[in-house]
Homo-oligomer: A and B are copies of this chain.
Amino acid sequence: MKTDIEIAQESKMKTIQEVAETIELTENDLDVYGKYKAKINFSAMERSKSREDGKLILVTSINPTPAGEGKSTVTIGLGDALNALNKQTMIALREPSLGPVMGIKGGATGGGLAQVVPMEDINLHFTGDMHAITTANNALSALIDNHIQQGNQLDLDPRRILWKRVLDLNDRSLRQVIVGLGGPIQGTPREDGFDITVASEIMAILCLATSIEDLKLRLSQIMVGFTYDRKPVCVGDLKIEGALALLLKEALQPNLVQTLFHTPTFVHGGPFANIAHGCNSILATKTALKLADYVVTEAGFGADLGGEKFLDIKVPALDKAPDTVVIVATIRALKMHGGVSKDLLQEEDTVALEKGFSNLQKHIESMQRYQVPVVVAINEFVTDTESEKNLLVQLCENLGVKVARTNVWGLGADGGKELAQLVLKAIEENTNTFAPLYAEQTPLLEKVEAVVKQIYGGESVVLSTKAEKQLAQLKQYGWDLLPVCMAKTQYSLADDASLIGRPRNFSIHIREFIPKLGAGFIVALTSDVMTMPGLPKKPAALNMDVTNDGKAIGLF
């Protein structure tokens, strides 16, 4: 059987100019990066604004398990299938982070016959967006430390710097560091730490900004720390939002690529959904909506994380709710939610499947809460048995929810046509009564409670002493009316990764609130969320290589 990278490398791509033509973009609208990648320039985005929005389809999933759910694969396959049904469609995805690529995943661009290409470029440096964010983030750190070193006119308290450095790598040794050692000419010693780039507030800002002007405004609002008398200090006080925006100007432009079936695809912006808001950029999604009749997009991890944040954080900024939400599940993953261990997944187990279905059911209910049509996509695996498939279809139908079997991994567009037709039907029937989870003016704690109770199915919210104090402080500064961005494990509806399936009667523990004033939300950090992953015992990097003529090996 061919690996993903073999399929991708053997595929015959169209030139990016040919792909762009299908969405009525000319060569002048593009800044090309090699033959198969391009950025959309600002004048093309500006010009498209007068058009009407297409229909928006959000793809989300159950809580991920080690069995794999294939959400990106289904997103890509659904886009291909819609195009195959002569519906003019674009896909909008997030960019992979190099950290997981070098660490565990190898690649993150779909799989089998449902891939975006050129996969090796997208998985490696792509068009440099991650590097631009890393650079802007760390330039800000250097300028903060330099400000302190050169007289500290703003009276910044080195013990209360909130802004951390970042690298787009999995590197646990950088989680907690001491910088500025070596005596007075090397700076002021202080505690610091590195997050992974996708956790940078600048990544969230890039994904939420609607223009260079908005980007600069948001950058200026980033709070970097406090003065000795506890007054907030922002980037605007340092007067460097211009330089940071300059470093980000290309990164703000959406990247155009294609699927194996030549569906035009934006791959742009990539915050993780467990520690950030988990959606690709507003500019990519908005531009896609202007250029295509249908846009298929995904949000990170499960419906409790990426899904919720798409609907509560991205939708207001996008000014457009999804016309349908697709929830991806696999029989293997549901069996794991039903208690089966990974090495026994190939055996039929309808009991475990029915038990694990509770996880999917909760996500269906959560998404229906927003009053948008929901369609379940069963992403089939070769080991699934007919009884299992029939049972899962039946369980969904019992709930009155539309359900489609898909095999886009094995069949490409053809394997997604049933799903595409159901999605089109749902959109046709749609009465468009999107109901937000909370009103903008709801106080922060009530917003957290709404997410915990209505989306996670939890009972209560428990604040640490630190979080209690911070909440009072947030109120004092008037920041407690911002949306909340929950930072929670992706593996469970609760904040304990071991609580698979559909846990009930649990509390969510808020360890800390972190104001992200540039992004425009408050992060609520629950227990045990890593903002800098580590590498496994055998990192994926060990299998990587490159041939003498520059072909990638080992990005599976």
A residues engaging B (CB < 8 A)?
Answer: 31-35, 41-43, 98, 102, 124-125, 128, 131-132, 134-135, 138-139, 141-143, 145-146, 149-151, 167-182, 185-188, 211-213, 216, 239-240, 242-243, 245-247, 249-250, 534-537, 539, 541-542, 544-550, 552-554
Residues of B within 8 A of A142 (CB): 102, 169-171, 173-174, 535
Across the interface, A176 reaches (CB within 8 A) one of B172, B182, B545, namely B182
A sample of 29 cross-chain residue pairs with beta-carbon separation below 8 angstroms, ordered by A number, consists of A31-B34, A32-B32, A32-B35, A33-B33, A98-B135, A98-B139, A124-B247, A125-B128, A125-B250, A128-B128, A138-B169, A141-B171, A142-B171, A142-B535, A143-B539, A149-B534, A151-B537, A172-B186, A172-B187, A173-B187, A175-B186, A176-B186, A177-B178, A212-B546, A212-B548, A216-B546, A242-B546, A246-B544, A246-B552
Q: Is the CB of A174 within 8 A of B169?
A: no
Residues of B within 8 A of A537 (CB): 150-151
Closest to A191 in B: B181
Residues of B within 8 A of A139 (CB): 98, 102, 169, 541
How many Å lie between the Cα of A539 and that of B240 in the bound state?
10
Q: Given the known inter-chain contacts A125-B250, A177-B181, A181-B176, please indicate yes or no for A544 contacting B146, CB distance below 8 A.
A: no
Residues of B within 8 A of A243 (CB): 102, 541-542, 544-545, 554
How many Å lie between the Cα of A207 and that of B45 in the bound state?
39
Q: Is the CB of A548 within 8 A of B213?
A: yes
Q: Is the CB of A550 within 8 A of B249?
A: yes
Q: Given the known inter-chain contacts A34-B31, A176-B186, A240-B541, please indicate yes or no for A131 contacting B135, CB distance below 8 A.
A: yes
Closest to A46 in B: B549
Q: Is the CB of B170 within 8 A of A174?
A: no
Closest to A535 in B: B146
Q: Given the known inter-chain contacts A243-B102, A250-B125, A552-B246, please indicate yes or no for A185 contacting B212, CB distance below 8 A.
A: no
Q: Given the known inter-chain contacts A124-B247, A178-B181, please indicate yes or no for A554 contacting B173, CB distance below 8 A.
A: no
Residues of B within 8 A of A168 (CB): 135
Q: Given the known inter-chain contacts A31-B34, A212-B546, A552-B246, please indicate yes or no for A171 contacting B145, CB distance below 8 A.
A: yes
Q: Is the CB of B247 within 8 A of A138?
A: no
Closest to A126 in B: B128
Q: Is the CB of A242 within 8 A of B212?
A: no
* Smallest CB separation, A429 vs chain B (Å): 41
* Smallest CB separation, A299 vs chain B (Å): 27
* Smallest CB separation, A549 vs chain B (Å): 6
Q: Is the CB of B239 within 8 A of A539?
A: no
A42, A143, A216 interface centre (most CB from chain B within 10 Å): A143
Residues of B within 8 A of A175 (CB): 181-182, 186-187
Residues of B within 8 A of A534 (CB): 146, 149
How many Å lie between the Cα of A482 and that of B468 in the bound state?
62
How many Å lie between the Cα of A179 and that of B167 in the bound state?
14
* Smallest CB separation, A206 vs chain B (Å): 14
How many Å lie between the Cα of A318 and that of B20 in the bound state?
42
Kindly list 20 other residue pairs between chains A and B, CB separation below 8 angstroms, not including A172-B180, A243-B541, A243-B554.
A98-B139, A124-B247, A125-B132, A134-B134, A135-B168, A135-B169, A141-B171, A142-B169, A143-B541, A146-B172, A151-B537, A173-B179, A173-B186, A175-B187, A176-B186, A177-B177, A212-B547, A213-B548, A246-B546, A249-B546
Q: Given the known inter-chain contacts A535-B143, A545-B243, A548-B212, please indicate yes or no for A138 contacting B178, CB distance below 8 A.
A: no
Residues of B within 8 A of A174 (CB): 142, 179
Residues of B within 8 A of A239 (CB): 542
* Smallest CB separation, A154 vs chain B (Å): 14
How many Å lie between the Cα of A363 and that of B174 in the bound state?
45
The 5 closest A-B pairs by CB, nearest first: A242-B545, A131-B131, A243-B541, A173-B187, A142-B171
Residues of B within 8 A of A132 (CB): 125
